[in-house]
Structure 1
Amino acid sequence: MDCHRCTDATTRRSCRPSEIEILLYFFVNYTSLQGLDIPSRIRNYYQLVTSQAIKVLTSIPCCLYTSVSPSRGPAVLVTGGLGYVGSHVCLELLKRGYTILIIDDLRNSFSNTVQNIGLAFETSGFGEYKTAIQNMNHIPIDYGDTQALNQALVGYGRYFLIVGAIHLAASKSVAESLKNPRKYYENNVSKMERFLTALGSLGIRNVIFSSSATVYGCLPPETALKPLKEDLVPVFRSLRQLGGMLGGLTPYGISKILGEGLVARFVERDKQRNGVVFRLFNPVGCDPSGHLKDDPKDKKCRGGVMQMIMKSVRRDQVFEVYGTGLGGRGDKSCIRDFVHVADIARGIAMGLEACVYKGYRDRERLKVYNLASGGGISVKQLVRKVGLESRVAVRVRECSKREGDIAVSVGDNGKIECQLGWVPERSIEAVCKDFCHAYNLQKDRGDLN
């Protein structure tokens, strides 16, 4: 029985099908054996397997899918797939041969991002634009709308075997969460709980969750001055377990901690489920093709630090740098661990494949990884590097520390390197180059001061 996505004999031998895939294979192919002269012992075995297959497949909702075309491969569900990180994740999945079901209600994204992903795929040399478009299916619904989600996935389940879900959809502004914490609880926690319940009822067993480095905000300031390891903040199953650690967290950070706990409980309810929690540090840059950008529809979100730098370059505005509250240390601006968004996407795809193809061999069915470079630079240094690449002298104004800001946030990536083999491949200089290319900021506007 060949794996859906393996093409050569060596790869096929190393890719083990699941129990359900084996049962389904015999169930589907049993009718073709009827006319052959097969010993009764073998025929009885096939009949037994058929009986077992019927029991297994009818006991799991929506598990009896039609055959998946080997040319398309298995399908992956991606929420928030038309957002900044999501679009890069979809591009990475296309490069790996997956069909993608994108759940995105377009509240903070644009429908033409589907076409932009296709253009980026073609530009990268992995295949034609038409192939990319055929392998993406955009479902414009709210991921928290259980009825719409069930209807959509039951329908697509007739044509694709959904091997896992990558959950990226969320409200993500720290500043906004301080003003409207209820929105962040509803969008990031309540909806996620309903979403995971729906996945469980549909038999989808592998979940990848995009958490955030903001969960480390609960640590004492002196702890955060060193590269942060995953075990400093374990996955909490409830707020009660957090105890007095909530003090340094923003509503956004709390919503991410609660989201991690929801994934943990999802995995615990079924021994065949697997999960990966990725704590993203600071995704920056753009795909080298220039077709994918950080372009939120909701202007209140303002985008990340690179968006703010871009606006300063284009409009010749002063860029505001917020202080650390650490007195005279460094250049008085916050230190962050910036990671190229393409490296982030690659790590998320590797986490998915670890679940799908290795999860059944691993006793620890929930993994937590930092997606971090392991080193940090200050915001002022980042501004200067963008200025050098764009040939624009960006003027800077120093401001006082913002509420909710962490002075230093650098992640330790030793665990993910050891277990998944992931290391960042793109430097901060590559980040700035790709960013300036995507936004057409590389202009000759005089020498830098």
Structure 2
Amino acid sequence: MTSTWLITGGAGYIGAHVVHALTRAGRRTVVVDDLSTGSAARLPAGVPLETCSVLDTVALADVMTGYDVTGVIHLAAKKAVGESVDRPLYYYDQNVRGTASLLEAMRATEVRRLVFSSSAAVYGVPPAGPVTEFTPTAPINPYGTTKLVCEWLIRDAAAAQGLSWLSLRYFNVCGAGSPALGDPGVANLLQLTLRALTAGQRPKVFGADHPTPDGTCIRDYLHVADLADAHVAAVEALLGAGGLAEYYNVGTGLGASVLDVLDTAREVTGLHQPYEFTARRPIDPPEVVADPARIAAELGWKAQHDLSAMVESAWAAWEAPVAATA
């Protein structure tokens, strides 16, 4: 019998890509989303959507029972770093209490498989060199802290409830699997750059004096379609073995500087606005690049898209009329 996976936040930018990838892999899904940032139009035909909050434990349990759910992919969360600094209580409520609510619903319905959407933000300002799963966790903002607290919560609940779980620590996600699934937000570097270029404005560069080859921050950028495939690999692992309790970095292992991203965006779009350099921000680590060796060795996953593919897909979605509403 085909298993059914509950995807919280499945109508959002990343969530919809995960649902599409699981559907292509032959997995049944049901989506729970409060549609505060998601859209039903993003979902594949035939995928059921239950509109409710992850804070509603009873509603979650009803969905798990009603759809005979085998496992959960928990993506529903607030994720804007700046907003988390301004509204830490809101982030703890939505992210930590939301995860506790989900775990309680899983306990009540005896659902024992969980994939958690975590973040490289749990590492804060890591030491120089590739970031492994054993790099110390020391988040520097409330968003990163809530993700780390959720990991602790899952670890402890798993020990008590007999859960099998995997935590995927995403690095810098961008791009689009199709124009209709583009990122509707304008918060990450690539989206901010596309907005500036199309408006005839100068893209901003925060700091040109970092200890990096060109003086700008270096990050590990990951195509959202590759990230979605990592979730499929995680589901297969959880279905294939019990007692899993692991953390995985999900990245390419390759760093790109701010100027690399801006230069690629100018090349792809044909819009050649000059940069505007401004002071560096204290919240920006100079370099954060994943070591993805563990997920490659244990789950058989490896990123397939390079930076040019990410920018090209993001630009196609930016230009598409459906991108703003899908």
- TM-score band by shorter chain is over 0.9
C-alpha displacement at 1:408, in angstroms?
0.8
Q: Is the 8 A contact 2:58 2:105 kept in 1?
A: no
Choose the corresponding residue for 1:294, options 183, 188, 194.
Answer: 183
Match of 2:24 in 1: 95
The CA deviation string for residues 177-221 of structure 1, in whole angstroms up to 9 with x for no partner, is 1111111110111121111111121111100001100111164xx
Match of 1:430 in 2: 309
The CA deviation string for residues 364-388 of structure 1, in whole angstroms up to 9 with x for no partner, is x201100010010101110110111
Choose the corresponding residue for 1:148, options 38, 43, 59.
Answer: 59
The CA deviation string for residues 214-267 of structure 1, in whole angstroms up to 9 with x for no partner, is 111164xxx1x2010101236xxxxxxxxxx5xx52111110110111111122
Alignment of 1:15-164 (within 5 A): 73-114=2-43, 118=44, 133-134=45-46, 136-157=47-68, 162-164=69-71
Q: SS of the residue aligned with 2:191?
A: helix
Match of 2:247 in 1: 368
The CA deviation string for residues 137-181 of structure 1, in whole angstroms up to 9 with x for no partner, is 111100111122223333333xxxx12100011110111111111
Which amino acid is the alignment partner of residue 276 of structure 1? L
Greater Rg by CA: 1
Q: Is the 8 A contact 2:217 2:285 kept in 1?
A: yes
Q: Is the 8 A contact 1:175 1:404 kept in 2?
A: no
Q: SS of the residue aligned with 1:316?
A: coil
Q: Which has the higher contact order (CA 8 A, sep 6+)?
A: 2
Q: SS of the residue aligned with 1:368?
A: strand
Which amino acid is the alignment partner of residue 156 of structure 2? R
Q: SS of the residue aligned with 1:411?
A: coil
Q: Which runs of 5+ in 2 are unaligned?
A: 321-326
Match of 2:152 in 1: 261
Q: SS of the residue aligned with 2:179?
A: coil
Distance in 1 between the 2:42 and 2:296 partners?
A: 31
Match of 1:229 in 2: 132
TM-score (norm 1): 0.68
> What is the RMSD computed on CA atoms of the aligned residues?
1.7
Match of 2:289 in 1: 410
Choose the corresponding residue for 2:204, options 320, 324, 327.
Answer: 320
C-alpha displacement at 1:402, in angstroms?
2.2
Match of 2:82 in 1: 175
Alignment of 1:207-218 (within 5 A): 207-217=114-124
TM-score (norm 2): 0.93
Distance in 2 between the 1:354 and 1:269 partners?
A: 21
Query: Identity across aligned pairs (percent)?
Result: 29
Distance in 2 between the 1:203 and 1:267 partners?
A: 12
Match of 2:175 in 1: 285
Distance in 2 between the 1:290 and 1:326 partners?
A: 34
**2:283 is aligned with 1:399:** no
**2:95 is aligned with 1:185:** no
Q: SS of the residue aligned with 1:112?
A: helix
Q: SS of the residue aligned with 1:208?
A: strand
Structure 1 consecutive aligned stretches of length 4 or more whose deviation exceeds 4 Å: none
